[in-house]
Amino acid sequence: MEDVADRAGVSRALVSLVMRESPKVSNRSRAAVLTAAGELGYRPNLMARNLASRSTDMVGVMLNDLLNPFFAEIAEGILDAAAERDVRVLFNTGSRSTLSEQRAVENLLELRTEGIILVGTQLSAGYVEQVAGEVPVLVVGRTVPTAECDTVNNDECIGSRLAVKHLIGLGHTDIAHIDGGHGAGAPARRATYIETMATHDLAAVGRVFPGGFTERSGHDAASAMLDDGPLPTALFAANDLCAVGALSRFGDTGVDVPGRISIVGYDNIALAAMHHIGLTTIHQPRFEMGRLALETLLQRVDNPSASAVHHVVAPSIVVRTTTAPPP
Amino acid sequence: MEDVADRAGVSRALVSLVMRESPKVSNRSRAAVLTAAGELGYRPNLMARNLASRSTDMVGVMLNDLLNPFFAEIAEGILDAAAERDVRVLFNTGSRSTLSEQRAVENLLELRTEGIILVGTQLSAGYVEQVAGEVPVLVVGRTVPTAECDTVNNDECIGSRLAVKHLIGLGHTDIAHIDGGHGAGAPARRATYIETMATHDLAAVGRVFPGGFTERSGHDAASAMLDDGPLPTALFAANDLCAVGALSRFGDTGVDVPGRISIVGYDNIALAAMHHIGLTTIHQPRFEMGRLALETLLQRVDNPSASAVHHVVAPSIVVRTTTAPPP
DNA sequence: GTGAAAGCGCTAACAT
DNA sequence: ATGTTAGCGCTTTCAC
């Protein structure tokens, strides 16, 4: 920086002002500094700047898993909003191990990011709470019962109700559900399924099959369903992967979808949109959720003492080709 | 830090040594410092440490696109190797806009990461070269003709040959190819297809259909194929997405795969492994490529003056259910 | 093994 | 509009 100042014939402070795009610099000196910097290949050192200014304009984002496109779209939303607000985003991921997730968060903490967004992480509630004590934390895609942190989630109840009502509207009465196990949102989806069925005087009893959030679990649950006696005419699966698993199982067995059985998933992952698959599913506005997450976090950074805010966004249904009236 | 030192009854320098896990500290003082730090909730400031030590132990990773699982697995490999070598990894992504990709790289540069890994980015060769002038750069999933940087790639020729020979081995003689357009590796895949066909005295002429790296392009190319006269008995698609697009087009038309036509893809994305799809494809050892990338970059960091090294890893074929002998 | 002193590259008052 | 003077929180000689 000193070299740049000398070359431009000004003081270091002035160079600093120019680099920070301060308006209180004459055009003449600005130009001089800029060309000097260019010639010298000068690049400001963020470490030094942040240390001196006691602020970083950086937020950290912990992604549970880079492999999951579901999280990735949220990340895109975060980035989009961050660009507008002129904050830098640093990503980190834990590769599905809780320990390395913690290390990644520690890293962000040591870098003194202004806040941290946790998307789909499996960190323990206790740990999240501890982190939230040090820096504003926002959790998306999961509710953290105890912690003092903001959250952004989709409304599982609205989504599940949308799914079940779509099937009922089509004329189905025998609608099964494949359970999502311990997956985030799974309990709410199951509960809403049962509740919605009851509201319409339909029996959900004996129609909940144990499953999970994977293709395999959907496949297995469909097998169980096939063995279990009369096949339902419709199926609401815990998520898209699970739905596709069931879809292949039925395909292999010659059970026509949607002719013999209709299927609805949840999440609207890219897979669901594939021509080959065309899964009717529930869409979460992930991009918007990412934007909302960043905006909310930034607000919290400005006002750390406000009480936690919990955003719940409404999902919508995307009707494709796996649902039709019952045979 | 001073507070910790006071509380532990030692000097600041000693606290520094303990935090850096230096061996030259008595167990007694180490314990004292550690408990004091714990009680005070002290967390070292990376900014200050890096500034003072003039090193960061951080490498930056630019991902073209978080949404692409192909890149994500490489990232996992990078993380895995980084954990072993005790370096911190900072991710960034450009959301598919060249401008924001550049901004993300600048960010990493300003943070003074020791090196940068570019995975699948669309940065111009000129820009990459410029960055490589400032800090060690390693590019994976793309070759950068001019730049002075290391690369890690799979051998497109071996992979493509594997695909075509698999089909020939099955007895096919009329094998078409859907072109990958400008996608990374596409030209090599096409050229190798043509060459391998020639080697076996088979005609490739008129059998290359324009396509791309998307499902849609595969779908459209399959339509063109259907309109084009006699359907080939086998098809080597530019990548998996493209292959799946063709797969659905054929499925819709009642063309049996693999009964009437066999299909091979490239990349072995998760989609290909799905029960429903079972695509025969070429697998790139992505995780290993990620590991290799980090190792190579670190070597370059230690020895900046060595000449660029270009790693080429061998892909393998994964035979699933979309290939069979010709009808 | 421990402490004192001198920066790392920058920003932030405060002057001018 | 520009220069001066102190630090930011840490590491690093170098003595003890």
Secondary structure (DSSP) of B9-50: TS-HHHHHHHHTT-SSS-HHHHHHHHHHHHHHT----HHHHH
| pLDDT tens-place string over residues A230-263 | 999 999 999 999 999 999 999 999 999 999 999 9
Whether the per-residue pLDDT at A67 is higher than 80: the answer is: no
Residue bearing the bigger pLDDT, B202 or A71: B202
Q: Which pLDDT score is estimated for A247?
A: 96
Cα dihedral across residues B175, B176, B178, B182: positive or negative? positive
Average pLDDT over residues A184-206: 93
What is the three-state SS of A92-148? EECCCCHHHHHHHHHHHHHCCCCEEEEECCCCCHHHHHHHHHHCCEEEECCCCCCCC
* pLDDT value, residue A64: 86
Buried b (16+ CB within 10 A) or exposed e, B250-286: beeeebebbeebbbbbbbbbbbbbbbbbbbbbbbbbb
The pLDDT tens digits of the residues spanning A272-285 come to 999 889 999 999 99
Please check the confidence at residue B95 and state whether its pLDDT lies above 80.
no
Q: What is the mean pLDDT of chain B?
A: 94
Q: Which residue out of A42, A67, A68 would a mutagenesis test of the B interface target, given it has the greatest number of B Cβ atoms within 10 Å?
A: A67
B110 touches chain A (CB under 8 A): yes
B132 in reach of chain A (CB within 8 A):
no
Mutate to test the interface with A, among B97, B102, B117, B276 (most CBs of A within 10 A): B276
Cβ of A52 near strand D (distance < 7 A): yes
Q: Round to the nearest angstrom and report the end-to-end CA distance of chain B.
A: 76
Mean pLDDT of A77-95: 92
When CB atoms are compared, the residue of B44, B67, B275 closest to A73 is B67
Q: Do A66 and B51 touch (CB under 8 A)?
A: no
Report the pLDDT value the prediction gives residue A68, as an integer from 0 to 100.
Answer: 76
Test mutation, B42, B45, B274, chain A, max A CBs within 10 A = B274
Bases of chain D below 7 A from a protein C-beta are 1-5, 7-13
**Chain A contact set for B248 (CB, 8 A):** 274-276
CA of B52 to C1' of C1 (A): 22
Is any atom of strand C within 7 angstroms of residue A16's beta carbon? yes
As a whole-number percent, the residues of chain A with pLDDT over 90 amount to 86
Q: Does A320 touch chain B (CB under 8 A)?
A: no
Give the model confidence (pLDDT) of B154-209 as tens digits.
999 999 999 999 999 999 999 999 999 988 899 999 999 999 999 999 988 889 99
Q: Do A80 and B90 count as a contact with CB atoms less than 8 A apart? A: no
> For the residues A15-33, what does the mean pLDDT come to?
93
- pLDDT score, position A119: 94
Extract the tokens encoding A148.
Answer: 């003092």
Percentage of the residues of chain B whose pLDDT score is greater than 70: 100
For residue range A146-183, what is the model confidence (pLDDT) as tens digits?
778 999 999 999 999 999 999 999 999 999 999 999 88
Angle among Cα B199, B200, B203 to the nearest 5 degrees reads: 95
Per-residue confidence (pLDDT) for residue A184, from 0 to 100: 86
Residue B9 has pLDDT above 80, yes or no: yes
Distance of residue A174 Cα from the nearest chain B Cα, in angstroms: 25
Summarize pLDDT for A306-317 with one digit per residue, the tens.
999 999 999 999
pLDDT score of B97: 84
Q: What is the mean pLDDT of residues B81-106?
A: 91
**Could you say which residues 17-36 of protein chain A have a Cβ atom less than 7 A away from any atom in strand C?**
19-20
Residue of higher predicted confidence among A5 and A67? A5
Contact B44 A245 (CB under 8 A): no
| Predicted local confidence at residue A205, as pLDDT | 83
Name A249's Cβ contacts closer than 8 Å, sequence gap at least 6: A218, A219, A222, A223, A226, B275
Distance from CA of B199 to the nearest CA of A (A): 35
User: pTM for the complete prediction?
Assistant: 0.93
Q: How confident is the model at residue A139 (pLDDT cuts 50, 70, 90)?
A: very high
Q: Are the CB atoms for B79 and B67 separated by under 8 Å?
A: no
pLDDT digits (tens, 9 = 90+) for B229-288: 899 999 999 999 999 999 999 999 999 999 999 999 999 998 999 988 999 999 999 999
Residue B248: closest C-alpha in chain A: A276
The residue with greater pLDDT, B96 or B11, is B11
Strand spans (E) along chain A:
58-63, 88-93, 115-119, 137-140, 150-154, 175-178, 208-209, 234-237, 262-264, 281-283, 310-313, 316-318
